Structure 1
Amino acid sequence: MDRISLLRGVLLLVFASGLGGCADAPGQDSGGALLPEQAAYDVAHYDLQVSVDPARERIDGRVTVHAVVEERIENVVLNLDRRLSVSEAWTQGRPSTPHAVERRNDKNEVWVDLDEARSPGDTVRVSVRYEGSPRVAPRPPWDGGLTWERTPSGDPWIATSGQTEGADLWWPVKDHPSDEPDSMDIAFTVPDSLVAASNGTLQSVERASDSTTTYRWHVSTPINAYNVTLNVAPYVRLDTSYASTSGMEVPVSAYVLPSDSSRAADALPGFLDQVRFLEETLGPYPARADKYGIAQTPFLGMEHQSLIAYGHDFTPGGLGYDAPFDALHFHELAHEWYGNLVTVGNWKDFWLHEGPATYLEALYVEHLEGDSAYHALTDYFRSRVTGGTPITRTAPTTAEGIYHQDVYFRGALTLHTLRYVVGEDALREILRRFVTPDSARTVPVFRPVTTRDFQNLVETVSGRSLEAFFEVYLYQGALPVLDTSRSDGTLQLRWTKTGDAAFSVPVPVRVDGETHRVSMEGGAGRLTVPGDADVTLDPKGWILRGR
């Protein structure tokens, strides 16, 4: 997800208070502890069909869930926002035999009674028909739902968002990041003056006699529920292709408003340059079997898989700092690797999405403009860190429970400091291997990940234990503080506010223009300095620390 500094304080107040956008329409949360009844089955495929009525701001849909039973179950439990009603449900493709449906947990859960209990290894197919007026997103994409806007020409402009509140704001789904279907089919029916864009590959466009058109899409890879997207507008489609480092020719489609098509066409080569950089840094573009796409949206952006939501103006910047490139597009694109290819199985590890995506912005600036630009951007990141809030948890956490600006900036600077500790080459190897563990594989490995997985890789590549490093930077609220004193020709340094962790991050010290790396074994170090020497601690800002 993108981050705009100007709005951050307002958004944090919203999340802290638990308020939604309307007094009678609060948002809901996503993730957390998984219900045993939901842990008992694994989704293999979703088939989602939705008709969109822009005039009434309503949807009418059906989802069919194909799942494999892992523990004995008598119900299939899905999530669906209580604003949407369920009209009927059935199993095994038999709509003539409806099954009992119960709404629980303030009607945000849909319990479908099976005709008989199912045992491990069984397959089950459950269909749910639903309808209603979905939640209108108060502040998309951070506070989500459906956005019903108008284009400059007055046409409907519709988009979905729901990373923190969940995909169940607009379709029945097992709303938890731990379970991704292996594939998905999506069909959107809209008035025939409009175009519906979504994830995956466009299979067909079917025009009906009732002045509607149905767009059918197929997603050939695993996809997280919050990444499933609906985009509707009088789009024009800009098509080209991209030669991936994998050797594949990747289809490219940009769905943009007619009034912006010329600017979008001018921007597209720069977007593909960003794809090339990320491929060379992290490995081949993950959704290459489907497409690289963007959909122009009435909000700033979101990392919807193979169809990035893009609401900037096709110019450099977009994330609150003076960037020499379209930083908004780059950040969302980086999530195709960190967020979509590897997805946290629980939101407690959410920093693994936002920290690397933010840090990669700095690597791209370094690629474009060199070392000084890299450090200027990491200095900006440092100015945005609040401290005091852990960015990783040990227990299951909801999306809103972990969302905070520090998952972006503290997460990015943790990687920046790690680069100093283990070296640039090692960090680049870590960033690549975490998302592309086997460069010889021709098919990307979409999978859930944890902070422990990342730490294990870091320790394998670096050949050292970094337990204290991760404990202090990720799990501890306060940042470490460096205490110093200087007397009798000796500079003494000591780490404080590190809890019980044996924190020993080395410290760069510049003495009369020469930089030394001071070892901090046991949390303390010393350096001999002449009495009249000019001494500067960490002159380039490598170490994330409190003041």
Structure 2
Amino acid sequence: MLRSVRRRRPLRHAVLATVVLATPATLAAAPAAPAAQAPPPRPAGIGDPLFPHLGNPGYDVLGYDIALTYRGRNDTPLAARTEITARATDRLPRLNLDFTHGTVRDVTVNGRPAAHARAGEDLVVTPARTLYPGEPVRIAVRHTSDPRGGGGGWIRTRDGLAMANQADAAHRVFPGNDHPADKARFTFRVTAPKDLTVVANGVRLARERAGARTTWTYRTAHPMATELAQVSIGRSAVLRGKGPHGLPLRHVVPERDRRSARPVVDRTPAQIAWMERYVGRYPLESYGVLSVDAPLNFALETQTLSVFGRDFLRAAAKYPKRAEGVFVHELAHQWFGNSVTPRRWSDLWLNEGHATWYEALFTDERHDRGSLVRRMRSAYEQSDGWRKDGGPPAAPRRPTAGGQLELFRPVVYDGSALVLYALRQEIGATAFGKLERTWVTRHRDGTAGTADFVALASEVAGRDLEDFLHAWLYDERTPPMPGHPGWKPAKPAR
């Protein structure tokens, strides 16, 4: 992300998954739990240290099918239906979904009406009978999706809507298991006035016009975390192209920017080819830039679409060398954060550190030779202060209530890229390159955490790097930089 465009990370930060059906004998053998035994409705969570109420235990989501109806006004709630296909992993007399900021009309579980209640930012659902481990779970929720108010989720643009769900705002748009540890495939069915264009993650399957409205259907080919979901509705032009290996490219820009944006987005194939030199083939089904007509002060990776404000793309047309590193930053997230997703939010350094690293490396190679070392030395000098303010890279301090932006401090950007620079200094560029390619290949389409990265680094290097990386990732003070004995951290301000 561009340094002058401060990445805002907490904004910046029918659902149906097919599973094995239970047999009648299985259902008959499963005793129904008396209603009196069900616990009272209460918020749940999977225990993430930074967002303890995000995610829900007891089931694994396999797929989302989200239908939205947009009637042409972005200050009015959208009618919505979310169908979730999952598999129970625990005994479930009740189950929780993360959902707030919308009205729920009704809920069914496996086709039967289910009671529902609100508890905090959870929707607590009581199915007609208790669910048991291994059973399929099909949850359908009819609700509204409200673009009004702050807190993330929908962005109201001048001509429609787009999404910015990171880190904890997807459940302001649709009900689900809103934690990156539970990835799933998504289908979006969006109905909008026929003069508007709708894009979403993945590949378009259909566009069907009925009178004054058009319904657009998109589906992802790879599993995705809820915070990476994207639907854009507006007066947009879709600029198409081809990337390396015939990769489909689709860039979505305001209609009036169709010509001016073309030179900017036409740099994308070369940026992808540059990334592939270092980490291997692009891991998803398509890619593109999404320019939204809103005054954004951040850039954001959503899966297959990187989000930028219209003003940033206009500035990029005038000053391409300054902006290109930001495009590479968001592109790098398609490998680091999207394809390989953090298991916990404290693993965020793996996303932002890598994206910042490749941003800096690209700028050094293409536009400003020597800038990588200068940037890392500057980061080293400030690192102790960043750790004091926000915690070390792999143990960031928990945001205060409503202060999600606090999670996206400098320590997870340049402070975490500094960890990768130190590791490359320690094991050498060849081993570091092998580590990076192995990381995104071994964990493709999955989740992985800090311990996984440390273990793989040791494996690739052929020696135990636990102590070395623990100091860089968890210590309050920045360790000495290998190969640069003259580098000294500045004293943190009192």
Amino acid of the residue matched to residue 451 of structure 1?
A: T
Deviations 1:217-265 (A, max 9, x none): 0111100101111111111111122233xxxx22111111122111222
Count of matched residue pairs: 443
Look up the match of 1:291: 286
Given that residues 77 and 110 in structure 1 are in contact (C-alpha distance below 8 angstroms), is that contact kept between their aligned partners in structure 2?
yes
Amino acid of the residue matched to residue 412 of structure 1?
A: A
1:62 to 81, 105, 115: 81
Cα distance between partner residues in 1 of 2:6 and 2:397 = 29
* Residue 104 of structure 1 pairs with residue 107 of structure 2: no
Look up the match of 2:437: 432
Cα distance between partner residues in 1 of 2:196 and 2:382 = 41
Cα distance between partner residues in 1 of 2:46 and 2:56 = 14
Q: How far apart are 1:323 and its partner, in Å?
A: 4.6
Deviations 1:492-537 (A, max 9, x none): xxxxxxxxxxxxx64445xxxxxxxxxxxxxxxxxxxxxxxxxxx2
Spell out the pairing of 1:256-267 with structure 2 (5 A cutoff).
Answer: 256-267=253-264
1:118 to 128, 131, 136: 131
Q: How far apart are 1:479 and its partner, in Å?
A: 2.3
Cα distance between partner residues in 1 of 2:414 and 2:123 = 37
Spell out the pairing of 1:138-287 with structure 2 (5 A cutoff).
Answer: 144-150=152-158, 156-181=159-184, 183-209=185-211, 211-244=212-245, 249-287=246-284
Q: How far apart are 1:70 and its partner, in Å?
A: 1.2
Secondary structure of 2:113's aligned partner? coil
Stretch deviating more after TM superposition (403-412 or 378-387): 378-387
Q: When the two structures are superposed, what TM-score results if normalisation uses the length of structure 2?
A: 0.82
Given that residues 31 and 347 in structure 1 are in contact (C-alpha distance below 8 angstroms), is that contact kept between their aligned partners in structure 2?
no
Structure-2 change in CA distance of 1:134 and 1:316 (3 Å): closer
Deviations 1:360-412 (A, max 9, x none): 11221233247523323434545664232212139999966743221011100
Look up the match of 1:21: none
Q: How far apart are 1:174 and its partner, in Å?
A: 0.7
Amino acid of the residue matched to residue 32 of structure 1?
A: D
* Residue 387 of structure 1 pairs with residue 384 of structure 2: no
Q: How far apart are 1:159 and its partner, in Å?
A: 1.3
Amino acid of the residue matched to residue 50 of structure 1?
A: L
Cα distance between partner residues in 2 of 1:179 and 1:264 = 36
Deviations 1:473-496 (A, max 9, x none): 21122324x6xxxxxxxxxxxxxx
1:346 to 325, 344, 347: 344
Cα distance between partner residues in 2 of 1:80 and 1:135 = 15
Cα distance between partner residues in 2 of 1:400 and 1:366 = 28
Deviations 1:171-219 (A, max 9, x none): 11111111011x221111122221111100001111222x222111011
Amino acid of the residue matched to residue 67 of structure 1?
A: A
Given that residues 86 and 136 in structure 2 are in contact (C-alpha distance below 8 angstroms), is that contact kept between their aligned partners in structure 1?
yes
Cα distance between partner residues in 2 of 1:144 and 1:37 = 17
Given that residues 47 and 53 in structure 2 are in contact (C-alpha distance below 8 angstroms), is that contact kept between their aligned partners in structure 1?
no
Cα distance between partner residues in 1 of 2:145 and 2:429 = 52
4+ residue runs over 6 A deviation: 34-37, 394-399
Given that residues 347 and 397 in structure 1 are in contact (C-alpha distance below 8 angstroms), is that contact kept between their aligned partners in structure 2?
no
Look up the match of 1:361: 359
* Residue 44 of structure 1 pairs with residue 62 of structure 2: yes
Stretch deviating more after TM superposition (383-392 or 260-269): 383-392
Spell out the pairing of 1:80-99 with structure 2 (5 A cutoff).
Answer: 80-81=99-100, 83-92=101-110, 94=111, 97-99=112-114
Cα distance between partner residues in 2 of 1:324 and 1:5 = 10
Q: How far apart are 1:135 and its partner, in Å?
A: 4.4
Secondary structure of 1:436's aligned partner? helix
Amino acid of the residue matched to residue 89 of structure 1?
A: V
Cα distance between partner residues in 2 of 1:42 and 1:395 = 28
Cα distance between partner residues in 2 of 1:252 and 1:306 = 9
Given that residues 242 and 272 in structure 1 are in contact (C-alpha distance below 8 angstroms), is that contact kept between their aligned partners in structure 2?
yes
Amino acid of the residue matched to residue 279 of structure 2?
A: L
Cα distance between partner residues in 2 of 1:189 and 1:216 = 9
Structure-2 change in CA distance of 1:315 and 1:5 (3 Å): closer
Cα distance between partner residues in 1 of 2:191 and 2:322 = 40
Structure-2 change in CA distance of 1:39 and 1:253 (3 Å): same
Q: When the two structures are superposed, what TM-score results if normalisation uses the length of structure 1?
A: 0.74
Cα distance between partner residues in 1 of 2:308 and 2:55 = 37
Structure-2 change in CA distance of 1:132 and 1:243 (3 Å): closer
Cα distance between partner residues in 2 of 1:36 and 1:377 = 35
Cα distance between partner residues in 2 of 1:313 and 1:189 = 28
Cα distance between partner residues in 1 of 2:229 and 2:348 = 18
Amino acid of the residue matched to residue 435 of structure 1?
A: V
Cα distance between partner residues in 2 of 1:404 and 1:66 = 36
Given that residues 144 and 161 in structure 1 are in contact (C-alpha distance below 8 angstroms), is that contact kept between their aligned partners in structure 2?
yes
Amino acid of the residue matched to residue 354 of structure 1?
A: E
Given that residues 84 and 134 in structure 1 are in contact (C-alpha distance below 8 angstroms), is that contact kept between their aligned partners in structure 2?
no
Q: How far apart are 1:269 and its partner, in Å?
A: 2.7
5+ residue gaps, structure 2? 13-44
Given that residues 242 and 269 in structure 2 are in contact (C-alpha distance below 8 angstroms), is that contact kept between their aligned partners in structure 1?
no
1:72 to 76, 91, 101: 91
Cα distance between partner residues in 2 of 1:361 and 1:73 = 45
Q: How far apart are 1:266 and its partner, in Å?
A: 1.3
**RMSD of aligned C-alpha atoms?**
3.0
Amino acid of the residue matched to residue 248 of structure 2?
A: P
Cα distance between partner residues in 2 of 1:5 and 1:302 = 14
Structure-2 change in CA distance of 1:132 and 1:186 (3 Å): closer
1:409 to 400, 410, 414: 414
Given that residues 72 and 120 in structure 1 are in contact (C-alpha distance below 8 angstroms), is that contact kept between their aligned partners in structure 2?
yes
Deviations 1:3-59 (A, max 9, x none): 645758xx79x99xxxxxxxxxxxxx9982667993211001110011124424321
Amino acid of the residue matched to residue 262 of structure 1?
A: R
Structure-2 change in CA distance of 1:313 and 1:402 (3 Å): closer
Secondary structure of 2:467's aligned partner? helix
Given that residues 355 and 408 in structure 1 are in contact (C-alpha distance below 8 angstroms), is that contact kept between their aligned partners in structure 2?
yes
